[in-house]
Amino acid sequence: MKDHFKQVLFVSPHYGLRGGMASVLQVYSKNIQHFNYLPTYYNKNTFLNLLHFTKALAKLIWIIISNHQIKIVHIHTASRGSFVRKSVIALFSKLFQKKVVLHIHGGEFKEYYRKAGFLKNYIRHILKTVDEVIVLSDEWKIYFDSLIGQQKSIIVNNPVVIPASITPKPIEYPIKVLFLNHIDPRKGIFDLADFFRDNKAWLQDSFELLVAGAGDLGKLKKFIAENDLTKLIKYKGWVSGKDKEHLIEESDLFILTSYNEGLPVSILEAMAYSKPIIATNVGGIPRIVKPGENGWLVKPADKDSLLDIFRQVKSDKDILVKYGQRSFQIAQDYSPVKVNEKLGRIYDDLLTPNLKKLNNNYEKAQ
């Protein structure tokens, strides 16, 4: 297969930012030899963001005009303002007759579309106008195909770097449970904090919740202090790079109790370090968390099921080793090499249409 990446321009928020989409782009940047990249967002104030986006749009036009090698614009987006900004990029790219791939991240698109009002027709128009729509799970494929009115979307896994080596960690009490994500009610962190408060006496000395991420820190710290949970819940701040790797290695069990998701990079990162997973059965999570194999699935805000899981772990902590080993095996399918191969086939389809039937047959065989 040809290396089509030199013909692709990636468009996304700056990958130095915080969040799952930025993490995905960081992996791309380190594992794609010809990584042409245009950031459109820096997470500053509204005026500066608008100014930067205007400059990015002008730069996009310049790149398209001056660099004839670029034939595909691969746009990474979420919902709300992110989608609106990226839709402008998509329309300009199509105006200059470039192929456009719209890669949708995040888990709140359904809610965004439901409340979009008069923008619903525009959203569907953009989805129909682009050449490919990339999604993160079977559930999202069904949803976006229904919006578009045809079988157009394709599933591409988020990539995760697999560590070259992992030092086995003995499971000892207190079992360290890691929450590594945004401090936001939609991520279930405050449901989890309630669970630790309501079961404080039983959990004490057996479990310890490590929390890392940015967001509503004031509310979380106040809750911990007011409920005397400083021995049970420990906030580690925002972590990245080696600090994040060390925190994942230090933990025994990963937990994410979101209300909606795409395919969380944080779960994949934990699995790459052989960690068992507790998560909610939303979005693409059931693709990677298999009950009875590498973890447990619960409904959002289901504290009774959480209690059953923690009781099981407390009575048999060795199950964490077994589930962790299976997590590592599943994570291999999300390596950058395999994800890049999938992207390469998509680019083949766009640039060499006569190969599309061959690649479609390949996908069905996988």
CA 98 to chain CA mean position, Å: 27
Neighbouring C-beta atoms of residue 120, cutoff 10 Å:
13
Q: Strands across the sheet with 233-237, in order?
A: 233-237, 207-212, 175-180, 253-256, 277-280, 295-298
CA gap 109, 363 in Å, rounded: 26
CA gap 158, 266 in Å, rounded: 11
pLDDT of residue 265: 93
3-class DSSP state of 49: helix
Residue 255: is its pLDDT beyond 80? yes
Average pLDDT for 255-274: 95
pLDDT of residue 363: 54
Residue 297: is its pLDDT beyond 80? yes
Q: Please indicate whether residue 106 or residue 244 has the higher confidence score (pLDDT).
A: 244
Q: Which domains does the chain have, with CATH numbers?
A: 5-159+335-365 (3.40.50.2000), 175-333 (3.40.50.2000)
Average pLDDT for 254-281: 96
Residue 117: is its pLDDT beyond 60? yes
Average pLDDT for 62-66: 95
Q: Which residue has the tokens 């309501």?
A: 198
Give me 317's structure tokens.
């902590």
Beta strand extents in the chain (DSSP E only): 8-12, 36-39, 72-77, 99-104, 132-135, 153-155, 175-180, 207-212, 233-237, 253-256, 277-280, 295-298
Residue 348: is its pLDDT beyond 60? yes
pLDDT of residue 364: 47
Residue 366: is its pLDDT beyond 60? no
Average pLDDT for 282-311: 96
pLDDT of residue 41: 80
pLDDT of residue 361: 53
Handedness of CA 214, 217, 221, 227 (dihedral sign): negative
pLDDT of residue 179: 98
Give residue-wise pLDDT tens across range 32-54: 988 999 999 876 677 888 889 99
Identify the DSSP state of 204: T
Q: Please indicate whether residue 262 or residue 73 has the higher confidence score (pLDDT).
A: 73
CA 256 to chain CA mean position, Å: 12
Mean pLDDT lowest for which of 11-25, 65-79, 142-156, 257-271?
11-25
Share of the chain above pLDDT 90, in %: 83
Q: Please indicate whether residue 15 or residue 67 has the higher confidence score (pLDDT).
A: 67
Q: Please indicate whether residue 164 or residue 213 has the higher confidence score (pLDDT).
A: 213
Mean pLDDT lowest for which of 3-7, 154-158, 219-223, 344-348?
3-7
CA gap 211, 334 in Å, rounded: 25
3-class DSSP state of 22: helix
Q: What is the 3-state secondary structure (H, E, C) of the chain?
A: CCCCHHHEEEEECCCCCCCHHHHHHHHHHHHCCCCEEEECCCCCCHHHHHHHHHHHHHHHHHHHHHCCCCCEEEEEECCCHHHHHHHHHHHHHHHCCCEEEEEECCCCHHHHHHCCHHHHHHHHHHHHHCCEEEECCHHHHHHHHHHHCCCCEEECCCCCCCCCCCCCCCCCCCEEEEEECCECHHHCHHHHHHHHHHCHHHHCCCEEEEEECCECHHHHHHHHHHCCCCCCEEEEECCCHHHHHHHHHHCCEEEECCCCCCCCHHHHHHHHCCCCEEEECCCCHHHHCCECCCEEEECCCCHHHHHHHHHHHHHCCCHHHHHHHHHHHHHHHHCHHHHHHHHHHHHHHHHCHHHHHHHHHHHHHC
Give me 278's structure tokens.
């507790």
Picking from 153, 157, 137, the residue whose alpha carbon sits closest to that of residue 145 is 153
Average pLDDT for 216-228: 95
- pTM of this prediction exceeds 0.85: yes
At 2, is the pLDDT very low, low, confident or very high (cuts 50, 70, 90)? Answer: low
CA gap 197, 199 in Å, rounded: 5
Mean of the per-residue pLDDT values for the chain?
Answer: 92
Q: Please indicate whether residue 354 or residue 346 has the higher confidence score (pLDDT).
A: 346
pLDDT of residue 118: 94
